[in-house]
Chain A
Amino acid sequence: MKKENLTNNNITRKDAIKKMGKYAALTAVGTFVILNPLKAQTSSPPDPGNNPFQ
């Protein structure tokens, strides 16, 4: 999933939230990322749109 680092110098919070995506957000001074581990064990995820059971 795409992750972004944002700074808050030139954009509004609303604009920033739009850009945040799931794992990134903005702060006033600096950058950060938010990383969610999987909630269950998986193997390599299949490519989207391909289902061997169809």
Chain B
Amino acid sequence: MNNNLAPTFKKLFGSYWVLWYKKSNIYSVVDTDFKTILYQYFDCASLDDFKTKIASVSPNLDYYTIAQNLQAYLEQCNAEYSLDKHLESINIDSKCSITKTYSINGKVLQINFSSDTVQKTIHPSIAHLETNYLSSPDVIFDLFLDNDNLCLLKNKALIKTVPKRDYHKIQGKFAMELFCFIYNNKEEDWLGTFHGCTIADGENAILFIGESGKGKSTLSALLTAQDFELVADDVSPMLASDSCIYHNPSAISIKKGAFNLLKPLINDFDLFPEVIFNKAKGIIKYVPCKKPLKDKYPCKAIIMVNYTKNAETKLDLASIKEALETLVPESWLSPNPDHAEYFLDWLSKTPIYKLTYSNTESVTEEISKCFKQLREQ
């Protein structure tokens, strides 16, 4: 029944199945009982057939409610995937008065901003890349407010407009444009942009995920102060063709709560300007890191970060369910079926851990051990 609603891909991870639905780009994590009954439902030719099957499992089960629930689940998983409204390439007079030029990997990028506040959406995180280069840039962006909307132009063509309160979507779009610009590819070449920090040891990378405030960026700053490389902070892009995470040149954003901890560990910490943009996030310092030796690294582990005051450092294995519940709702994942398959393949080869920490020395030691194990594999 309803085989047209079946998931396009299914993969077993321990005691869970991960199902992917092409129509909606939804990932569903289910237990083995659920998966069994779902596929029994697909295998049955009619509701009567399903009734017989369910009765053979247990006469007490209400086959009709089960069928209804499965149908409701499948409909939810097959809701049409709709994208943001397509923007036509139109020319707009942006009235930008602040111009900044940046040099990244030998390429030159110019951004024109309409005000100081607008500038704060992008500039502080890439301020360390600013240059006085005077010849013509390879690409020009304009970022400005038009009534209550933030508009982003690329070479005078509108590529994104969002209500100003959704400025993080402009930041995300700009980050994607930056990756395409640096690595000479297109948005459709990327498998996804994960919400998390990526750290490398010169050979392998580990992706650190966790909700905002769980200590990802602080941990990244700690590790980069101990000779690990920062590949990406906040937005970690993975390319579909090689499933590697690529270097995101943006600086690490450090909240005020971590200043005292990091001050003795990071050179010239006091010299980095304090930025207040979103009052709820408070004062932030953007700390640039040394460019990693390589532009990309294979990501060999996922660690869910949980800073807990006074907790002992602990690194335990975590389930795919815990990891995807954290990772998927906060990440952009390409709806391309090939990419979804690569993503599941990558996940199936990648161990997942959860890290509880408060002590900076022992956490560095624990992560060092983890990198060592990855090198020995």
Query: Which residues in A have some Cβ–Cβ distance to B below 8 Å?
Result: 1, 3, 8, 13, 17, 23, 25-47, 49-53
B332–A41 touching, CB < 8 Å: yes
B171–A25 touching, CB < 8 Å: no
| Other-chain contact of B331, A23, A38, A50 (Cβ < 8 Å) | A38
A53–B165 touching, CB < 8 Å: yes
Give A3 to B288 CA distance when docked, in angstroms: 35
* Nearest chain B residue, comparing its CB with the CB of A34: B28
| Other-chain contact of B65, A8, A17, A42, A45 (Cβ < 8 Å) | A8
Give A47 to B213 CA distance when docked, in angstroms: 11
A13–B65 touching, CB < 8 Å: yes
A33–B28 touching, CB < 8 Å: yes
* Nearest chain B residue, comparing its CB with the CB of A43: B171
Instruction: List the B side residues contacting A44 at CB < 8 Å.
Output: 168, 195, 212, 234
Give A47 to B330 CA distance when docked, in angstroms: 14
A36–B328 touching, CB < 8 Å: yes
Query: Which residues in B have some Cβ–Cβ distance to A below 8 Å?
Result: 24-34, 37-38, 61-62, 65-66, 68-70, 72-73, 76-77, 81-84, 117, 120, 145, 150, 164-165, 167-169, 171-173, 175-176, 192-193, 195, 212, 234-235, 277-281, 321, 324-325, 328-333
A42–B72 touching, CB < 8 Å: no
Instruction: List the B side residues contacting A34 at CB < 8 Å.
Output: 26, 28, 73, 76-77
B69–A52 touching, CB < 8 Å: no
| Other-chain contact of A43, B81, B145, B164, B168 (Cβ < 8 Å) | B168
Give A27 to B67 CA distance when docked, in angstroms: 9
Task: Return B314 CB to nearest CB of chain A, in Å.
Answer: 23
Give A35 to B320 CA distance when docked, in angstroms: 12
* Nearest chain A residue, comparing its CB with the CB of B61: A28
Q: Given A28-B61, A31-B34, A37–B331 Cβ distance below 8 Å? A: yes
| Other-chain contact of B37, A30, A43, A45, A49 (Cβ < 8 Å) | A30
B62–A37 touching, CB < 8 Å: no
Task: Return B229 CB to nearest CB of chain A, in Å.
Answer: 21
Give A21 to B38 CA distance when docked, in angstroms: 21
Give A52 to B83 CA distance when docked, in angstroms: 26
Q: Given A37-B332, A39-B83, A41-B176, A52–B325 Cβ distance below 8 Å? A: no
Give A41 to B188 CA distance when docked, in angstroms: 12
Task: Return B178 CB to nearest CB of chain A, in Å.
Answer: 11
| Other-chain contact of A35, B37, B38, B73, B324 (Cβ < 8 Å) | B324
Give A10 to B281 CA distance when docked, in angstroms: 42
Give A26 to B325 CA distance when docked, in angstroms: 16
Task: Return B238 CB to nearest CB of chain A, in Å.
Answer: 12
B26–A38 touching, CB < 8 Å: no
Instruction: List the B side residues contacting A26 at CB < 8 Å.
Output: 69
A42–B172 touching, CB < 8 Å: yes
Give A9 to B167 CA distance when docked, in angstroms: 44
A53–B117 touching, CB < 8 Å: yes
Q: Given A39-B332, A41-B173, A33–B325 Cβ distance below 8 Å? A: yes
Give A52 to B38 CA distance when docked, in angstroms: 47
| Other-chain contact of A27, B37, B83, B235, B281 (Cβ < 8 Å) | B37
| Other-chain contact of A51, B26, B70, B164, B172 (Cβ < 8 Å) | B164
| Other-chain contact of B165, A29, A36, A46 (Cβ < 8 Å) | A46
Top 10 A-B pairs ranked by shortest CB distance?
A28-B66, A30-B34, A41-B172, A42-B172, A47-B280, A30-B33, A50-B280, A37-B333, A43-B171, A35-B328
Task: Return B205 CB to nearest CB of chain A, in Å.
Answer: 20
Give A1 to B82 CA distance when docked, in angstroms: 20
* Nearest chain A residue, comparing its CB with the CB of B82: A39
Q: List 20 A-B contacts (CB under 8 A).
A: A23-B325, A28-B37, A32-B34, A34-B26, A34-B28, A34-B73, A34-B76, A36-B328, A37-B27, A38-B331, A40-B173, A43-B171, A44-B212, A45-B168, A46-B278, A47-B281, A50-B279, A52-B167, A53-B117, A53-B167
